[in-house]
Structure 1
């Protein structure tokens, strides 16, 4: 939680001067020499996002980490979907034409299970379904992969943090092995990340965003990662984040998103990020050797 060196934080605040810092060593969450490569919503460049098919494709590519998004249905089921509406990635308009704006929270789990979540991406994936969180983590576990789980729109779903942790616990994802090596929970909501940390302190957490360097000590009290958009990153900012110890007493990590081409991957790897979240994990892996 405390800065290891004043110089590191100061350099990040000096703008142009930060460019003179020596290249940060490329670190990784699991202690490797290169940044982790995380399949964004599964291998979503090649299969419909957040479906079991996208998990399978990531596994086929040899990708260990998978990212997903969690929302809640009308009857309280957790499902894996990025948008708070079903409109973009399912055929909900055809199946339920009179129920615009087709918000996830207005449909039961059984209704959502009827929807085709694959045809919008490619006819070859017709019939793919919106998975429940239980189904998703079972598939990730079957492949012996690891999970970066995003709690999406927590302001729409009071108590979703506790419910998510309950599902993870029921599925065997809160034992020591999982929380130490195979699970990270993140959100754009600092309050949500803080809630997860308070409910289950052993779980590693990430905050999605680019907080000012001056605010990093406050974030470090309840999170292990600061996970910004790659367009907002600089080498100085990554160095500044690494100068603080996070909630588990280790240097704050940086996972950046969403990087889909080799040049951008090499650029952020040069900044010393710990992981790269990407729709095309094979492209990024080949670019950075992750």
Structure 2
């Protein structure tokens, strides 16, 4: 996640939080509940990001939640990849040397399926492929895990919200059990999050970023989470988010990203966050358990 978070001023945070907290329940930390740990792009410190191997590694580490990124190919297939270019995490330059700048949207699903998405990370993962969304959710389902799905660059892919929901529905991920307990759809695009909420109100949603505290009530109308980068986070901001009820009438939550060390994991845990997104879920889990 590389979007620039919008930091709210300390004065605004303190003032608005003080007003809102009188109307809302205490944050999770006050009840003794620790944050959930989410494997960012799978256990991406230990296996190539957004591959099935990264899901396998997360399962091996006992991680319940997996995060991924969804983009769309030239012929309309949804694939799991973080960047809008294939260049960083595949051998596309070698396989298709004349196709720069190697954007996902300029390649068919069959072409992308030819690429090696593992060797860049470690030769041991040579031959790993860019999975389709269907393949990815099948692997998550194999381990009975939960999915935090990010709609990446939605402005590049008109209608990706409806298409993603259709794939999830076809794969059995929009039934009562999944929707209530095992699925969150998030994005940096507020309009995209709003669209998901309007198309499928039962689905839990998250907005990636740090909106000013004064704007939080407008986000709460269509999302269930505000998910900022950990560098932009303060305890007062978490309190301000928790002071509101989200789109499903429950307390607005905070999942923060991307925390990869014990010190920062303990710091944001102390703020009362509801979830920590991390490349090193074992490190973070040990820190918050301790």
Displacement of 1:12 in angstroms is: 2.9
CA distance in 2, matches of 1:25, 1:181: 17
Separation (CA, whole Å) in 2 of partners of 1:261 and 1:125: 25
Aligned residue runs from structure 1 range 35-114, under 5 A:
35-114=35-114
Say which SS state the counterpart of residue 253 (structure 1) adopts: coil
Equivalent-residue separation in structure 2 for 1:90 and 1:140 (angstroms)? 22
* Residue correspondence of structure 1 range 165-204 to structure 2 within 5 A: 165-204=165-204
> What are structure 2's unaligned runs of at least 5 residues?
1-9, 19-25
SS of the residue corresponding to residue 26 of structure 1 reads helix
1:9-45 CA-to-partner distances (Å, cap 9, x unmatched) read 9883359x9xxxxx95427xxx981100000000000
Which secondary structure does the structure 2 equivalent of 1:263 belong to?
helix
- Does residue 26 in structure 1 map to residue 29 in structure 2? yes
Q: CA deviation at 1:87?
A: 0.1
Q: How many Å separate the matches in 1 of 2:236 and 2:12?
A: 6
Distance 1:232 1:185 in 2: 22
Deviations 1:102-142 (A, max 9, x none): 00000000000000000000000000000000000000000
Separation in 1, partners of 2:54, 2:13 = 37
Q: Report what 1:230 is aligned to.
A: 230
Query: 2:249 matched to 1:249?
Result: yes
- Tell me how far apart the structure 2 counterparts of residues 288 and 46 of structure 1 sit (CA, whole Å): 20
Is the contact between residue 13 and residue 213 of structure 1 (CA under 8 Å) also seen in structure 2?
no
C-alpha contact (below 8 Å) 1:24/1:271 kept by paired residues: no
- Please report the TM-score for the alignment, with normalisation by the length of structure 1: 0.91
Any idea what SS the aligned residue of 1:226 has?
A: strand
Q: Does 1:121 align with 2:121?
A: yes
Alignment length (residue pairs): 273
Partners of 2:249 and 2:12 in 1: how far apart?
A: 22
**C-alpha distance in 2, partners of 1:289/1:239?**
22
Q: Residue in 2 aligned with 1:155?
A: 155
SS in 1 for 2:139: helix
**TM-score normalised over the length of structure 2:** 0.91
Deviation at 1:184, TM superposition (A): 0.1
Q: Which residue of 1 aligns with 2:205?
A: 205
Question: Is the Cα contact below 8 Å between 2:28 and 2:274 reproduced in 1?
Answer: no
Q: Distance in 2 between matches of 1:25 and 1:69?
A: 27
**Residue ranges of structure 1 left out of the alignment (5+ in a row):** 1-8, 18-22
1:12 aligns with 2:13: yes
SS in 2 for 1:13: helix
Q: Distance in 1 between the 2:288 and 2:52 partners?
A: 26
In structure 2, distance between residues paired with 1:289 and 1:147: 22
Shift of 1:101: 0.0
SS in 2 for 1:177: helix
Contact 2:28 2:34 in 1 (8 A): no
8 Å contact kept, 1:69–1:80 = yes
Q: Distance in 2 between matches of 1:32 and 1:248?
A: 23
